């Protein structure tokens, strides 16, 4: 009964329009009053906030967000997009594939999906529209490319999951590498199939000066000759090298990456006081939003733990006859549904304390389960009605969100195939962590 009251308070506050982080915190405090007087609840709230802030791992979040914002504000991320376009321009649908490639490289340099989508929208969409790409297909490609930042390490989603579950963030990063790369390849295959089945989605190859010119449509673009990829590649090498060699912890890697991004931009003369101020302001805004959600969710999680809901669910499963894998499929389906209606960080911090205890209690690996949860969050970023990435891309480009959601259907087929493969073959996820651990 207490669980129903707490959830009703939370849903009511969200429906009334209260920000998710504050709704979680207020609902947690009001629900805890069922079990304890106000002075004790006040003390518990202070302990939760202090414990979270005192955990140096949380510093990873603003560091990785800073990397994304600095690259976007300096225009180096746009350079990356132009360089990838030069590489793929002789293939039909090459500009869309270049967008995926740029999204993967950006993901390996930072962990912010929203910053990645906004950057790719500004860099890729104008050229895609000018060359004749379908608007919906363009928005879908940009949105899907941005989701790679939530899976390919370093990922802020893995940091949040690690903070909540106390699993190794380094191991989570390693586990996300293979699924992230395979997801990017799946997007490229999807583009290849889509432009063949539906020729109107991308311009046809054109002959110019005796040779085929694809993504550029035979139209020379002066800007495309100046895109440079080496600054971002240098940053990726710095981050991934420090991370996988064990030289630095994920938090230290985030700080090194942020410093490296700033130094590279300053050395190239690509960032001034105004652009740097914008990057810092965006970093503070995003980091404060994530931290507020974490505070509120941990407080609400204290209430959920007092209800002993996880123990009750485990006991019910034991007597119900459901197999562990049947329960896993139900939990994954539950996450996919939640992803359509809630913010991905809110989903992780609100549900993981329960689902993690449930799944590990059934014998599943916590690292592997974390990657599955992040994959469902990735899918939620492009599914209606919330679909945050689609909304960001649409707002940046002026294309209706409905076209973006329609264009994402083919990509979602690839996503579900990838999710099924991760469930059927856990070794796909655990290969790199096990290899490095051995």
pLDDT in tens, 407-418: 999 999 999 999
User: CA–CA separation, 276 vs 291, rounded Å?
Assistant: 22
Q: Dump pLDDT digits (tens) for 298-347.
A: 788 778 777 776 667 667 776 777 888 998 998 999 889 888 877 777 78
The Cα-based distances of 229 to 101, 234, 293, 411 in angstroms read: 11, 9, 35, 26
Q: What is the mean pLDDT of residues 41-45?
A: 84
Name, of 44-48, 101-105, 245-249, the range with top average pLDDT. Answer: 101-105
Q: Dump pLDDT digits (tens) for 123-176.
A: 788 888 888 999 999 999 999 999 998 899 888 889 889 988 989 988 999 999
User: CA–CA separation, 106 vs 72, rounded Å?
Assistant: 10
User: CA–CA separation, 87 vs 101, rounded Å?
Assistant: 10
φ and ψ of 93, to 5 deg: 80, 15
Q: What is the mean pLDDT of residues 105-118?
A: 79
Q: Dump pLDDT digits (tens) for 354-383.
A: 889 889 988 999 999 999 999 998 898 899
pLDDT over threshold 60, residue 218: no
Of 60, 129, 110, the C-alpha closest to 290 is: 60
Would you say 176 and 159 are in contact if contact means Cβ atoms under 8 Å apart? no
Tell whether the torsion through CA atoms of 234, 236, 237 and 243 is positive or negative: positive
Residue 258 tokens read as 């942020």
Of 207, 231, 229, the C-alpha closest to 217 is: 207
Would you say 10 and 24 are in contact if contact means Cβ atoms under 8 Å apart? yes
User: CA–CA separation, 378 vs 380, rounded Å?
Assistant: 5
pLDDT at 191: 96
Dihedral angle computed from the Cα positions of residues 314, 315, 318 and 320, in that order, rounded to the nearest 10 degrees: -100
N residues, the chain: 438
Question: Residue holding tokens 């955990």?
Answer: 55
Percent of the chain with pLDDT over 70: 92
CB hemisphere CA count around 372 (13 angstroms): 28
User: CA–CA separation, 118 vs 265, rounded Å?
Assistant: 19
Q: Dump pLDDT digits (tens) for 83-111.
A: 777 777 788 889 899 999 988 988 887 76
Query: Model-level pTM?
Result: 0.79
What would the DSSP string read from start to end of 83-111?
HHHHHHTTSTTHHHHHHHHHHHHHHHH--
Rg (CA), the chain: 22
pLDDT at 178: 94
User: CA–CA separation, 215 vs 241, rounded Å?
Assistant: 33
User: CA–CA separation, 110 vs 123, rounded Å?
Assistant: 17
């Amino acid at each position: 009964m207490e669980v129903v009251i707490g959830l009703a308070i939370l849903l009511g506050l969200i429906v009334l329009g209260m920000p998710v982080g504050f709704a979680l915190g207020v609902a947690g405090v009001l629900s805890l009053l069922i079990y304890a007087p106000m002075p004790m609840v006040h003390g518990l709230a202070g302990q939760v906030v202090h414990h979270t802030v005192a955990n140096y791992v949380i510093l990873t979040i603003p560091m990785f967000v800073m990397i994304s914002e600095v690259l976007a504000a300096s225009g180096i991320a746009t350079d990356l997009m132009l360089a990838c376009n030069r590489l793929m321009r002789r293939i039909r649908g090459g500009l869309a594939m270049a967008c995926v490639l740029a999204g993967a490289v950006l993901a390996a340099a930072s962990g912010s999906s929203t910053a990645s989508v906004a950057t790719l929208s500004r860099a890729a969409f104008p050229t895609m529209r000018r060359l004749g790409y379908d608007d919906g297909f363009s928005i879908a490609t940009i949105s899907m490319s941005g989701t790679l930042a939530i899976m390919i390490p370093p990922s802020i989603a893995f940091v949040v999951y690690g903070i909540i579950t106390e699993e190794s963030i380094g191991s989570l990063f390693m586990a996300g590498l293979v699924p992230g790369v395979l997801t990017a390849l799946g997007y490229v295959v999807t583009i290849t199939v889509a432009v063949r089945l539906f020729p109107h989605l991308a311009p046809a190859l054109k002959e110019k000066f005796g040779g085929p010119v694809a993504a550029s449509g035979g139209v020379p673009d002066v800007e495309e000759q100046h895109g440079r990829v080496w600054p971002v590649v240098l940053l990726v090498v710095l981050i991934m090298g420090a991370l996988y060699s064990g030289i630095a912890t994920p938090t230290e890697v985030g700080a090194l990456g942020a410093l490296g991004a700033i130094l590279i931009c300053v050395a190239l003369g690509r960032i001034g006081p105004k652009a740097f101020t914008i990057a810092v302001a965006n970093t503070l805004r995003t980091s404060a939003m994530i931290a507020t959600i974490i505070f509120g969710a941990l407080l609400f999680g204290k209430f959920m733990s007092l209800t002993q809901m996880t123990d009750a669910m485990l006991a019910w499963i034991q007597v119900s006859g459901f197999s562990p894998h049947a329960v896993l499929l139900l939990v994954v389906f539950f996450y996919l549904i939640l992803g359509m209606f809630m913010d991905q960080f809110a989903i992780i911090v609100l549900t993981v304390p329960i689902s993690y205890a449930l799944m590990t209690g059934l014998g599943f690996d916590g690292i592997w389960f974390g990657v599955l949860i992040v994959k469902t969050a990735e899918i939620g970023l492009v599914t209606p009605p919330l679909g945050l990435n689609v909304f960001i891309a649409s707002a940046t480009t002026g294309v209706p969100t409905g076209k973006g959601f329609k264009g994402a259907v083919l990509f979602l087929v690839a996503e579900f195939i990838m999710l099924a493969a991760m469930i059927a073959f856990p070794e796909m996820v655990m290969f790199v962590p096990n290899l490095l651990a051995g």
